[in-house]
Amino acid sequence: MPILANKIIFFKKKTPLKVLFVATESSPYISVGGLGQVMFSLPRALKKIGVDVRIFIPKYGSLDEGQYPLETVEKKIKVPTDTEIPEQPQFLICKVKKYTPPAGALSNVPVYFLENKEYYEKRANVYGYADDPLRFILLSRGILEFLKQSNWTPDIINCNDWHTGALPNYLKTVYKDDPKLSKIATVFSIHNLYHQGIFDHRFVSELDFDDGKSPVASFFSERLTKQNFMKRGIIYADAINTVSETYAQEILTKDYGERLDDLLREERTRLFGILNGLDYEELNPQTDKHIEVNFDISSLGKRKANKIHLQKEFNLDVSEKIPVLGMVTRLDEQKGIDLLFPILEILVSEFGIEFTIVGGGEPKYRTFLEEMSKKFPKKIGTHLMSDSILPRHIFAGTDLLLVPSKFEPCGITQMEGMRYGAVPVVRKTGGLADTVKDFKPENNQGTGFVFEKFSSYSLFGALIRALENYKYKKTWNDLIKRAMKADFSWESSAQKYLSLYQKLLQK
């Protein structure tokens, strides 16, 4: 596994390194999940260290142009569709618009938007359509057609997840002889290998299997929906990275490789792991306006007010002494909710804990949590839908933050919770293994409680260890302080990305 050196190699060039991030979302313009947050924070951190960085995403109908006024930089981009059927359009026409943040804005990274009303603006959601492969290869190829005309050419294009895997594919095949585009290097960032398109990659017939090396299908071909652009991004990019070092190692195995482990082992010399970071300016318990009482590591006593507020907000019994467990998560199989089924009632009835959870997802998990909340209305509080503010209340008020994931490429809630003094209980996988160090009572070290086997018994054991140590206030406060001192700032991650980019330019 390649390891990025901390030493940064600088090149003797008068202009700064130019990097273009390509993704389907970027906060604050459009953000569905963690990818949108990364596409806000990482480019900003790179810009702070001197990189000329820009972002390119689709222009969705939900974009508020009153808040983010756009200028048109290309009125007509003709994007080839490669169709051989005369009745189908040979080109799709797009515009490219640009938002340049004003001085003093939270992010000063310029953003390009690919505009096409049929495939972006007339859709209510970002994802979830039968023609998603078409929508996203339109983004990839539209960007390349734009760059052919643009007076700004990146040294590196950093693509993100399967939606943009067609871009390195096109660049190394269709555009390989273009005098301008052929000089651009590509990085393909894997945020979650599980998601490989709109088909189920675990059950693919031999007839539908994509070798990843045949030409990209035409925009309107049925074959397009069966091509695996996660695989193609891995094959054609100059470098591949995942969002934690442990996940980069895990995906080389059959248990985590999602049927791409053989390919990834072949390409392991191009595979790197760089941990995601946190925005320490926005996520700051000392200044956060969304929590009840501000505090820091030297005023932990004030944190109790946030715990009381959380208990009242979820209509639980109010007491500083009751240990409160919290979760902020999607309700799906990956997040380990199943592990709670046999043990949550025991934890509440026998060990006197309270439990709060925020997040939406699959019906079977909603049903379980709703039934438990009805059975223990003063002990279990739920908000079973996404929310932008309530997670901060859980981070600032809960004693323990539960992240028992089946797999976790990076994970961010455990880092957010630690920032706000919530002690994490996590499974040893992916980014969770890289960010949480298991508590060792013999030398009073560690930042949380870690278990290895994906089982309810293992989780239960970790929680009992945590609850026993919760009884010793000095030990517990020391644990909180170590968690809050952990440094997951984007500055460190940005330096590693810069090192990766520079290695590519050396080649």
Task: Could you list the beta-strand ranges (E) of 259-393.
Answer: 271-273, 324-328, 354-358, 380-383
Q: What CA–CA distance (Å, rounded) separates 156 from 153?
A: 9
Give residue 167's pLDDT: 98
Give residue 2's pLDDT: 52
Give residue 124's pLDDT: 86
Could you give the angle at the alpha carbon of 64 between the alpha carbons of 62 and 69, nearest 5°? 140
Exposure of 440 in the CB half-sphere (CA atoms within 13 A):
5
Burial class (CB in 10 A: 0-12, 13-18, 19+), 507: exposed
The H-or-E segment that residue 427 falls in is strand 423-427
Give backbone dihedrals phi and psi of 57, rounded to 5 degrees, phi first.
-140, 165
Burial class (CB in 10 A: 0-12, 13-18, 19+), 130: exposed
Tens of pLDDT, residues 111-122: 999 999 999 999
Low-confidence ranges of the chain (pLDDT < 70): 1-14
Q: Looking at residue 300, what DSSP letter applies?
A: G
With beta carbons less than 8 A apart as the criterion, state whether 460 and 424 touch: no
Q: How many residues does the chain have?
A: 507
Question: Two tokens at 488?
Answer: 């997951």
Give the chain's domains with CATH numbers: 18-277+490-506 (3.40.50.2000), 300-485 (3.40.50.2000)
Task: Could you list the beta-strand ranges (E) of 70-181.
Answer: 71-80, 91-99, 111-115, 156-160
Distance of CA 413 to the CA centre of its chain: 11
C-alpha separations of 319 from 147, 305, 323, 353 in Å = 60, 11, 9, 11
Q: What CA–CA distance (Å, rounded) separates 182 from 507?
A: 14
Give residue 6's pLDDT: 43
C-alpha separations of 149 from 94, 181, 426 in Å = 13, 10, 49
The H-or-E segment that residue 272 falls in is strand 271-273
Give the residue from 79, 366, 332 showing the smallest Cα distance to 216. Answer: 79
Tens of pLDDT, residues 333-359: 999 999 999 999 999 999 999 999 999
Strands 111-115 and 91-99: antiparallel
Question: Two tokens at 482?
Answer: 């170590």
Q: What CA–CA distance (Å, rounded) separates 140 from 363?
A: 34
Give the residue from 493, 14, 58 showing the smallest Cα distance to 277. Answer: 493
Which residues are registered as beta bridge partners of 425?
A: 402, 449
Q: What CA–CA distance (Å, rounded) separates 497 from 322?
A: 43
Which residues are registered as beta bridge partners of 21?
A: 55, 158
The one-letter amino acid at 83: T
Which residues are registered as beta bridge partners of 278?
A: 489
